[in-house]
Amino acid sequence: MQSGAAVSPLAAPKGTKMVCELCQKPALLLCTGCRCAYYCCDDHQKTAWAAVHSKVCRLVGALGSARDFCTLEERRLRDETVRQQKVRIMQMSLVCGTRHIYSDRPGLTLPAAKQALAMAAEVYGAASVELVRPFLMLATACVMLGELSSAEGYLSQGEWTLIYSKSEDHALRSQLFWGWGRMLTARRDWLPAKWCFAETVHHSSEAFGPQDVRCTLGYFWLAETLLRLDKLDICASLFREIVTIWHQFFYAGSCSEEPPRRLDDTEVIEALHVLTAVRKAFSAPDSASRSQTASSRMGLHTSSGGRHQWWRNEENAACVVRLDVILNRLRNYSPGLELPQVLMR
């Protein structure tokens, strides 16, 4: 946590009943930056600041500065401004949570995901499909922390929300199957995990088309699971397909043509994770090094060695050359985006 006036302890007004942003226990420490966020102790205040509050403090403070007395038109404009601010806080919280996941800091992911969940509920309602992503982020953090029962609970809440809203959104269904697959890999239930990741690929393909970059996260986790089941050729084929899809995204047209759409910040971070892991797999000198990818910190574990020669061929070597070009472009894609250090190597 950075020192300064942005977050420092201040006693809550006498008689005010406030709860901690992190644990929901009674709280007496107030953020002097936004004067809205309360904490039960210095440790929780520091954790929240590092996780997400440093990024959204100013926006949260603006939410509490609305005037009580105004005309109907002023109130309408104020309400719309507040709504837009809450949406922005939700989006920034999701980006912070994604960055913490790929920096191997699940303890900081939880506050960011809870902030996103609270804003989504306030803007869209407690049963909206917009809550699914924060639920999945909470589940991912719990998987990384080894709290699998909590992860299952969050996944169930996300699934219930999707069912209750009667959503037929294939993109959300893809994310939900991905979340279940992640939990199953942590339990080393490889066959059910393979089925979940296959469903992830199916639904993302239905939503975007099988050659869309948004399908590559599903391809990656399916390949990693197949590696544990000794399906080596299929795994390598999926890795090469990931590289081909990303190369076509950036370089399918002429040099002057822009990609078909703009990637958001979470997509950039996730793509860097996937492509960095694929590059390490193709270029590692032995199977033990190959398996030490970013995915090993996120529910997958080292497989037995002695089979690394099958990676060494001209086709995979060509993929490494392409990967270096793609990774360099992604690292410079959003100049203002703070990337995890592990993805900058």
What is the pLDDT, as a whole number, of residue 149?
94
What is the pLDDT, as a whole number, of residue 58?
86
- Categorize the per-residue pLDDT at 284 as very low, low, confident or very high, splitting at 50, 70 and 90: low
pLDDT tens for 308-339 read: 445 667 777 888 889 999 999 999 888 878 87
- Position 253 pLDDT exceeds 90: no
DSSP 302: P
What is the pLDDT, as a whole number, of residue 319?
85
Say how far residue 92 (Cα) sits from the centre of its chain: 11
- Position 147 pLDDT exceeds 80: yes
- Categorize the per-residue pLDDT at 27 as very low, low, confident or very high, splitting at 50, 70 and 90: confident
- Categorize the per-residue pLDDT at 154 as very low, low, confident or very high, splitting at 50, 70 and 90: very high
- CATH class of domain segment(s) 76-167: mainly alpha
Among the residues of 105-212, which ranges form H helices? 106-124, 132-144, 148-164, 170-186, 190-208
C-alpha span between 116 and 92 (Å, rounded): 8
pLDDT tens for 42-63 read: 899 899 999 999 889 888 887 7
Domain positions in the chain: 1-66, 76-167, 190-301+308-345
Q: What percent of the chain has pLDDT over 90?
A: 48
Sign of CA dihedral 25, 30, 35, 37: negative
C-alpha span between 98 and 82 (Å, rounded): 24
For the chain, state the CA radius of gyration: 22
Do 183 and 151 meet the contact criterion of CB atoms below 8 Å apart? yes
Give pTM, 2 decimals: 0.81
C-alpha span between 44 and 311 (Å, rounded): 46
Top pLDDT among 343 and 178 is at 178
For the ranges 28-37, 130-139, 172-181, the lowest mean pLDDT is seen at: 28-37
Q: Where are the beta strands (DSSP E) in 37-147?
A: 38-39
Give how far Cα 38 sits from Cα of 10, 14, 22, 115, 307, Å. Answer: 9, 14, 9, 13, 54
What is the pLDDT, as a whole number, of residue 65?
58
- Categorize the per-residue pLDDT at 12 as very low, low, confident or very high, splitting at 50, 70 and 90: very low
Average pLDDT score over residue span 121-135? 92
**Angle between the N-to-C axes of helices 106-124 and 72-102, in degrees from 0 to 180, rounded to the nearest 10:** 160
What is the pLDDT, as a whole number, of residue 66?
53
- Position 31 pLDDT exceeds 50: yes
Average pLDDT score over residue span 86-99? 92
Q: What's the whole-number average pLDDT of the chain?
A: 82
What is the pLDDT, as a whole number, of residue 36?
83
